[in-house]
Amino acid sequence: MTNKEKLYLDAKRTYYQGNPIMSDREFDELELELKNENSKVIDMVGFGDRKLKFPHITPMLSLAKYQTNKTTGKPPIEDATNWMKNHIVGKQEHFEWTPKFDGNACSLQYKNGKLHIALSRGNGTTGRDITDKIYNQVPKTIPIKGNVEIRGEIVMPRNIFNKKYAEDFANERNLVAGILNKDVTPETKDRLKDIVFMAVEIKAIDGKTVEYISTDKLTELGFNQQYPLEKHWVHYSDFETCFYKMQEYREKRSPFLLDGFVIKVAEKYRNNFGENSHAPNWAVAIKFSPKDVSTTNKTIQWNFGKTGELIPVGIFEPVNLDGTMVKRASLYNYGFVIANKVYPGSTVTIVKAGDIIPQVIDVTSPGDISKFNAPTHCPHCNSKLVVEDVHLLCKNEDCSGIKRAMFSQAIGKLNLFGVGGVMVNDIFDSGFTNAIDLLNPLKFNKTALIAKGIVTDGKIVDNLFSEIEKIKELPLQNIILMMGYQGMGNTTSAQIANMVAGVPYSFSGLQKTIVEGFEPGKPKRVKLDNAIGELMQFIDIKMPEDLSSKIGLEMTGGTKEIGLASKDEFMDIAKKYGFIHTKISEAKILVTNDLNSKTGKMNHKKVKSGEIEVLTYSQFLDKYCKGFVSNATTPKQTTKAPSKTLF
């Protein structure tokens, strides 16, 4: 490989990591030179390095959801209809309905018509390169110039799963996730032939401008050829009728597992609504109620939890639940087993929580208590177990099992990409049982770890220390969670962090035995202060802010009118002037792009009563953010409705 080719690949990789080493013009000129030299590197797609994460062109957000009643099966008619009414633009009263696939989200990035990379959803901002996994499932080129992002779900047809994999895997979604997370081997190569990329969204991006393109274009571009996307236009008044038709499609005709469907505003109006930090404002998911089946509990397996609790898991006679063979489900806790007599031989009703996790919702006949053998001693330290309320617990603070579980939980707070459970256990077994020590290179380094004789040198170890070196800052709350205080959770650690930082806090409703001892000079506080002092040599510790003097605001509608690409950008400005983003119920100000809009936030009781000040984005900036100059534009609106209707 020539130096020019290496430069090209390096430029391409850094570009998609968000740190380009050359301008677009320079990159295009280099690519043209290599093309004229018949170089093959310009045809390479993806990067093949599982350690790297790459940014999505635009964030992959979650969807707001309305849930069908789990008990009655009644659809969320009022909520969904009101949502559609509040998203009518002009005379546009029809909404796009598409299936919500129970798969693994994926984003394809095309540049000037050529596929450059396929990314997993990751954390929504960055994803892992999975191009090699779906390279043969998607078009390599499309006839659209510029930057194009095509999103969809990677799924497996139900008939293929049931025929080839149902005996060995819980469900299609888990199997596909496993395939995508492994290197390509002869075994996974065969399985890759069975996965399908179902495209559901296409958009062109030019700088901060996003243009949503009709999904009708997808088939023309070569997507969804074998399995056309089920798409319909529905009038807001027809929700109930069409809900049951979509449910019928899910149960009888869909080739893939679905957990609901998505209602979307027409593409050309989506920028009118924009998005918030969690979800697009132009779409909402409607979740189906879970199906249920009856089966028999054969035995009970006891799993050791992170707090020292022994958690019962029912092992059942295998039963088909919505296309998946279910063999096991959590029985929650010791008290649930006793109260409901879920002993071996009991008959239970199971549903899938969130259409994914099997969950026992009813015990229709009790089991045989003589076959119930709950453990009496801890499997790790052999201490006698005790029953507290409904929990069966090991109370030995020196229990190796508890320490290992807490260590694993603490490492999770570091978000070390590519560092799995095996490596975490190996680190613990090597004697590094304090998670905080991993951030101190004087205590934890490659030489010290390998010297223990359990971990060997190689790419996995290199990745571990590469990921640790990336950590430049941690919130104080995470430090507290990593300290190994038994029973410590997110809410408690947040309030303790506030206390340590000297900002308002409250221990109301928190367990006294956990929060006591963090006053200055007390043992827990001394331990924490020492850890903070040690870590400040190597990383920055982000202290909680005093938010009591901040003014809460909520937002609705897009920010295009002020020349900003997102609400996050707007919020970055507002924070500098003493504002904080809160829920509508806690806000003092609601900022909107349309004072006449009918969104749920604009119809909130506090808005109607005048308790909340309502301003447009421009009005807010003019009134509260002196010195900021907006680049205001007025979004165009057209009113022609789609001609197609449902079914």
Q: Summarize pLDDT for 376-389 with one digit per residue, the tens.
A: 999 999 999 999 88
Element (DSSP H or E) covering residue 118: strand 114-120
Nearest to 483 by CA among 450, 514, 521: 514
What is the 3-class SS of 400-423, one letter each residue?
HHHHHHHHHHHHHCCCCCCCCHHH
Task: Show which of 491, 520, 542 is a domain's final residue.
Answer: 542
What is the 3-class SS of 551-615, one letter each residue?
EEEEEECCCHHHCCCCHHHHHHHHHCCCEEECCHHHCCEEEECCCCCCCCCCCCHHHHCCCCEEE
- Top mean-pLDDT range of 14-18, 177-181, 359-363, 537-541: 537-541
Describe the strand order of the beta sheet including 589-592 as a list of residue ranges.
Answer: 579-581, 551-556, 589-592, 613-616
Question: Looking at the predicted structure, is the pLDDT value of residue 455 above 80?
Answer: yes
- Per-residue confidence band for 634, with pLDDT thresholds at 50, 70 and 90: very low
Element (DSSP H or E) covering residue 534: helix 523-535
**Distance, C-alpha 439 to centroid of its chain:** 26
Residue 325's beta-bridge partner residues? Answer: 320
What is the 3-class SS of 343-356, one letter each residue?
CCCCEEEEEEECCC
Question: Looking at the predicted structure, is the pLDDT value of residue 628 above 70?
Answer: no
Q: Count the neighbouring beta carbons within 10 Å of the beta carbon of residue 274.
A: 23
**Is residue 83 a contact partner of residue 263, using CB atoms and an 8 Å limit?**
yes
DSSP secondary structure of 296-337: EEEEEEEEEPTTSBEEEEEEEEEEEETTEEEEEEE---HHHH
Does residue 523 fall inside a structural domain? yes
Q: What is the pLDDT of residues 297-348, one digit of tens each?
A: 999 999 998 778 999 999 999 887 766 678 888 898 999 999 999 999 999 9
Does residue 632 fall inside a structural domain? no
CA 25/CA 23 separation, integer angstroms: 5
Does residue 51 fall inside a structural domain? no
Residue 253 DSSP code: I
If asked whether residues 146 and 277 sit together in one domain, one would say: yes
Task: Flag whether the pTM goes above 0.85.
Answer: no
Write the CA distances from 518 to 178, 525, 597, 639, integer angstroms. 43, 4, 49, 61
If asked whether residues 239 and 323 sit together in one domain, one would say: no
CA 155/CA 104 separation, integer angstroms: 7
Tokens read off for 320 = 């088909």
Nearest to 493 by CA among 482, 506, 483, 481: 481
If asked whether residues 388 and 522 sit together in one domain, one would say: no
Question: Looking at the predicted structure, is the pLDDT value of residue 42 above 90?
Answer: no
CA 46/CA 117 separation, integer angstroms: 5
**Mean pLDDT of the region 615-619:** 89
Count CA atoms within 13 Å of residue 206 on its CB side: 6
**Mean pLDDT of the region 108-122:** 92
Residue whose entry in the numeric block shows the structure tokens 């990789």:
13
pLDDT at 596: 77
pLDDT at 46: 57
pLDDT at 20: 62
pLDDT at 41: 72
Tokens read off for 255 = 């080739």
Residue spans of beta strands (DSSP E) within 222-287:
232-235, 258-264, 283-287
**Is residue 85 a contact partner of residue 239, using CB atoms and an 8 Å limit?**
no
Q: Count the neighbouring beta carbons within 10 Å of the beta carbon of residue 610.
A: 8
If asked whether residues 278 and 234 sit together in one domain, one would say: yes
User: Residue 243, SS3?
Assistant: helix
Residue 377 DSSP code: B
Residue whose entry in the numeric block shows the structure tokens 């071996």:
344
Q: Are strands 347-353 and 292-304 parallel, antiparallel or unpaired?
A: antiparallel
If asked whether residues 451 and 557 sit together in one domain, one would say: no
Handedness of CA 605, 610, 611, 617 (dihedral sign): positive
If asked whether residues 555 and 536 sit together in one domain, one would say: no
CA 95/CA 165 separation, integer angstroms: 37
If asked whether residues 348 and 384 sit together in one domain, one would say: yes
Q: What is the pLDDT of residues 53-97, one digit of tens each?
A: 788 889 898 888 888 887 788 999 999 999 999 999 988 999 999
If asked whether residues 494 and 384 sit together in one domain, one would say: no
Does residue 114 fall inside a structural domain? yes
Q: Count the neighbouring beta carbons within 10 Å of the beta carbon of residue 508.
A: 6
Task: Show which of 393, 421, 442 is a domain's final residue.
Answer: 393
If asked whether residues 368 and 444 sit together in one domain, one would say: no
Domain hosting 610: range is 551-624
Task: Show which of 393, 421, 448 is a domain's final residue.
Answer: 393
Does residue 642 fall inside a structural domain? no
**Distance, C-alpha 224 to centroid of its chain:** 25
Nearest to 212 by CA among 204, 220, 200: 204
Does residue 58 fall inside a structural domain? no
pLDDT at 19: 59
Count CA atoms within 13 Å of residue 188 on its CB side: 14
If asked whether residues 181 and 107 sit together in one domain, one would say: yes
Question: Looking at the predicted structure, is the pLDDT value of residue 637 above 50?
Answer: no
Mean pLDDT of the chain: 86
431: which residues sit within 8 A by CB, 6+ positions away?
Answer: 452
CA 498/CA 506 separation, integer angstroms: 9
DSSP secondary structure of 175-216: HHHHHHHS---HHHHHHHTT-EEEEEEEEEEETTEEEEE-TH
Question: Looking at the predicted structure, is the pLDDT value of residue 486 above 80?
Answer: no
Q: What is the pLDDT of residues 230-289, one digit of tens each?
A: 999 999 999 999 999 999 999 889 999 888 999 999 999 999 888 877 789 999 999 887
Q: Count the neighbouring beta carbons within 10 Å of the beta carbon of residue 196.
A: 21
- Specify the number of domains making up the chain: 5
If asked whether residues 443 and 525 sit together in one domain, one would say: yes
Residue 438 DSSP code: G
**Mean pLDDT of the region 84-111:** 94
- Per-residue confidence band for 16, with pLDDT thresholds at 50, 70 and 90: low
Residue 328's beta-bridge partner residues? Answer: 315
Tokens read off for 231 = 């798409």
Q: Count the neighbouring beta carbons within 10 Å of the beta carbon of residue 523.
A: 9
Does residue 633 fall inside a structural domain? no
If asked whether residues 571 and 493 sit together in one domain, one would say: no
Q: What is the CATH number of the domain that holds 303?
A: 2.40.50.140
Does residue 93 fall inside a structural domain? yes
Q: What is the pLDDT of residues 150-163, one digit of tens each?
A: 999 999 999 999 88
Torsion angles phi and psi, residue 425, rounded to 5: -65, -40
Q: What is the CATH number of the domain that holds 113?
A: 3.30.470.30
Tokens read off for 445 = 């380094």
